[in-house]
Copies of this chain bind each other. A is one copy, B any other.
Amino acid sequence: MHRTHTCGELRLEDLNEKVTLAGWVQRVRNKGGLVWVDLRDRYGITQLIFEEGEVEASMLKEAGALGREFVVQAEGTVIERTAKNDRIPTGDIEIRVSRLEVLNKAKVPPFIIEDDTDGGEDLRMKYRYLDLRRNVIREKLHLRHKMMQETRKYMDAKNFMEVETPVLIKSTPEGARDFVVPSRIHSGEFYALPQSPQTFKQLLMVSGFDRYFQIVKCFRDEDLRADRQPEFTQIDCEMSFVEQEDILEIFEGMIRHLFKAVKGVDLEEVARMTYADAMRLYGNDKPDLRFGMPFIDLTAEAQGKGFNVFDNAELVVGICAGGAAEYTRKQLDELTNWVKRPQIGAKGLVYVKCHVDGTFKSSVDKFYSQDDLKDWAEKAGAVPGDLLLVLSGELHATRKQLSELRLKMGEALGLRDKFTYKPLWVLDFPLLEWDEETSRFHAMHHPFTSPKKEDIPLLDSDPGKVRANAYDLVINGVEIGGGSIRIHDKETQKLMFKHLGFTEAEAQSQFGFLMEAFEYGAPPHGGIAFGFDRLCAIFGGSDSIRDYIAFPKNNAGRDVMINSPSIISGEQLEELSIAILEKKDK
C-alpha cells in the first residue's frame, strides 16, 4: 500500500503518529520558508506542512513547486495545527512531512477541479475523468452506489431473486427502435439489445421463479432529446400470483426503504389517483403534488355570456394561484406571452384578480359581471388576494397547456422545493392509445399489459376506453416507475396483438415463444420497472440524469471522451458480411 491512512481519517487522537498519505495536490500555499499543501483523495483533504529548518531546502523547494493535481506520497508526523480549520474533519491536524515523493506529475487541467468549475459542458464531457474528480460529481455517483446496494438489500429480504437476462436478444418492431448487433457466425442475422427484459422476466414467472428483480442496462435507439441516454438503467421486477394491490404494497415499501436508508427521510404514504382524475385535475399523468392548484372546470359558468372564445371552446378551465392577485400588468403579459409560445401553444390567457377588498378585476370584464367572477372564484376556492388563470379550447390541448402553466406558477410561487417529496400512484391507465401517424392503436404501456376484466367487452366497441391494470409511480411530477399486471394466457395475448394490428404471422414470429410458454402453465403475474438514473437524480435533488451516470453520452449519442461511435476496419465489416451504404444527407 502506498499509504497508511486516507486523506480523510486523521484526527487529534493520531497526534505524533508516523503516517504515509497519498493523493492529489489540491492547493499549494508557498510563503517562502513555509509551504502548505492540501492533499486530496476520495475520503477528504489533509494539510501537509513543510517548514524551513525542519526539512531540507531541496524538499521545501520541491513542495513549493508542486503543481495542481500532481499525485504525491508524503511520509511524516501528525501534529496539531496552530490555526485550526473547522470546515473539514481533518482540520485540527496537519502532517509535518519528512519524505515527499511525486508518484506522477500532472499537466494543468483544462478546467478547475473544484465544486464550482470554470469548465463548460463539452470540455467536461471530453475530460470526464477529470470532471469525476470533483467532489460534487463523485458524491452523486456515491449516492447511486448506495441506492443500488439498498435496493438489493430490500429486494433480497423480500425473497426476490436477482437474475441476469441476456443482452444479446432479438429485434422486435414494437416500441422504440432497437440497437442491433450483426452476427458474424450467422451472417445476415442480427441480435438486438434489449429495450427492457420484459419477455424474459415473464418467462421467469412461467418458470416459477415467483419473485425476480434485476438492476439492468437497457437500450433505445431514439433521437435523443435533452436528458435521454441511449443506454440507461432500470430496476426491473416481476412477481407471480399477485394482484395490483400486492405490487403497489411491495414497491411502496421499496421506495420508503430507499428514502429512509439513503436519505434518512420518512416518506409519507404514497397517494393514489386514477389516470382519469390526474388528467382532469392536473392535465397530466404525472402530476406534481408538492402543491395543490388543481384545475377548476369553468366551462358551464363561462359559456353563454357572449365571449366567443369561451363559447366555442370544448373546455374552459382555470387554476387558482394563491396570493398572486398583486401580479403586475407586466407579469401578466409575460405569462400570456409564455403560454402563447409554440412550445405551449395557447391562444391567450384570461386572468381574474381577486382583490382583498372583495372586488374582481379580469381581462374579460367586458363579458362577465362581478357576480359572474365571484361564482368562478367560489368554484375555485379562491380567497381575496388570489389570482385565477384561465385557458380554453380543445379538451386535451387545453389541459396540456394549463398543466404547463400550473407547473410554472408552482415554480414562481416557490411551491416546488426539491427536498420535499410527494409520491403518487397513478392507476387505471388506458390500455391503448390512438396514434395519428400510423392510424392505429398502440399499447400505452406495452402489448403484455392486461385489460381490466370488466372493460374487455369494450375492446371491440370502444378500444380507447378500455382501462388497463397498469400503474405508474410518480414523485414530484416525475414518473420514476411503471408497470402492470400482465396477460398470462395465450388467447388474451393473441386478442391483444390483433387489436394492435399484428397479423397472426407477425405475432407468431415475434412473440411465438412467449405465447407458447403461456400454454405450459403460466401463473398470474405482474411487475414494475423503475428508471434508476432518474430515481437517483430525484434523490440527489437534480433535474438532470447525466451527472448520475459515470460516462454519459452527449445529445448526439456520442461518447466524446473515447470518441465513439467510430469507424471499424474493412476486415471487420467483411467478417460480419455487411457493407456501409453511402452516407445519407442529414
Binding site for B on A (CB under 8 A): 1-3, 6, 22-24, 40-43, 69-71, 103-107, 109, 127-130, 132-133, 138, 141-142, 144-145, 148-149, 152, 156, 161-171, 173, 177-193, 199-200, 203-204, 206-210, 217, 219, 221, 223-224, 230-231, 233, 241-243, 246, 488-489, 513, 517-524, 549-551, 553, 556-559, 561-569, 572, 574-584, 586
Contact at B566–A217, with CB atoms within 8 Å? no
How many angstroms from the CA of A273 to the CA of B141 in the assembled complex? 38
Contact at A69–B521, with CB atoms within 8 Å? yes
Residues of chain B lying within 8 A (CB to CB) of residue A180: 181-182, 568, 572, 576
Contact at A3–B550, with CB atoms within 8 Å? no
Tell me, rounded to whole Å, the shortest Cβ–Cβ distance linking A269 to chain B: 20
Residues of chain B lying within 8 A (CB to CB) of residue A208: 23-24, 40-42, 132-133, 138
Tell me, rounded to whole Å, the shortest Cβ–Cβ distance linking A174 to chain B: 13
Say yes or no: A171-B572 contact (C-beta < 8 A), given A130-B520, A567-B189: yes
Tell me, rounded to whole Å, the shortest Cβ–Cβ distance linking A228 to chain B: 12
Contact at B141–A575, with CB atoms within 8 Å? no
Contact at A103–B524, with CB atoms within 8 Å? yes
Q: Is the interface of A mostly helix, strand, loop or mixed?
A: loop
How many angstroms from the CA of A438 to the CA of B208 in the assembled complex? 51
Q: Which residue of B lies closest to A213 (CB)?
A: B145
Tell me, rounded to whole Å, the shortest Cβ–Cβ distance linking A546 to chain B: 13
Contact at A169–B521, with CB atoms within 8 Å? no
Q: Which residue of B lies closest to A564 (CB)?
A: B170
How many angstroms from the CA of A206 to the CA of B586 in the assembled complex? 37
Residues of chain B lying within 8 A (CB to CB) of residue A156: 145, 149
- The answer, among B24, B521, B574, for a CB contact under 8 Å with A105, is B521
Contact at A207–B145, with CB atoms within 8 Å? no
Contact at B168–A553, with CB atoms within 8 Å? yes
Protomer copies: 2
Show 27 A/B contacts (Cβ-Cβ < 8 Å), sorted by A: A22-B241, A40-B208, A71-B522, A103-B523, A104-B522, A104-B523, A106-B520, A129-B517, A141-B161, A149-B162, A166-B551, A166-B559, A167-B231, A168-B553, A177-B572, A178-B572, A180-B181, A184-B221, A185-B556, A187-B580, A187-B586, A188-B583, A190-B567, A191-B565, A578-B580, A579-B579, A579-B580
Say yes or no: A564-B168 contact (C-beta < 8 A), given A42-B210, A133-B207: yes
Tell me, rounded to whole Å, the shortest Cβ–Cβ distance linking A582 to chain B: 8
Residues of chain B lying within 8 A (CB to CB) of residue A210: 6, 41-43
10 cross-chain pairs, A with B, having the tightest CB-CB distances, nearest first? A106-B521, A132-B207, A170-B564, A189-B565, A2-B241, A69-B521, A183-B565, A42-B210, A129-B203, A577-B581
Q: Which of A1, A104, A579 has the most chain B CB within a 10 Å cutoff?
A: A104
Tell me, rounded to whole Å, the shortest Cβ–Cβ distance linking A182 to chain B: 7
Contact at B148–A162, with CB atoms within 8 Å? yes
Tell me, rounded to whole Å, the shortest Cβ–Cβ distance linking A272 to chain B: 19
Q: Which residue of B lies closest to A211 (CB)?
A: B42
Q: Which residue of B lies closest to A560 (CB)?
A: B513
Tell me, rounded to whole Å, the shortest Cβ–Cβ distance linking A273 to chain B: 24
Say yes or no: A217-B164 contact (C-beta < 8 A), given A149-B152, A522-B71, A550-B204: yes
Contact at A170–B563, with CB atoms within 8 Å? yes
Residues of chain B lying within 8 A (CB to CB) of residue A166: 231, 550-551, 553, 559
How many angstroms from the CA of A150 to the CA of B477 in the assembled complex? 36
How many angstroms from the CA of A577 to the CA of B584 in the assembled complex? 8
Q: Which of A24, A103, A207, A556 has the most chain B CB within a 10 Å cutoff?
A: A207
Residues of chain B lying within 8 A (CB to CB) of residue A162: 145, 148-149
Residues of chain B lying within 8 A (CB to CB) of residue A519: 105-107
Residues of chain B lying within 8 A (CB to CB) of residue A183: 557, 565
Residues of chain B lying within 8 A (CB to CB) of residue A132: 203-204, 207-209
Q: Which residue of B lies closest to A200 (CB)?
A: B551
Q: Which residue of B lies closest to A243 (CB)?
A: B1
Q: Which of A224, A518, A558, A561 has the most chain B CB within a 10 Å cutoff?
A: A561
- The answer, among B168, B207, B557, B572, for a CB contact under 8 Å with A130, is B207
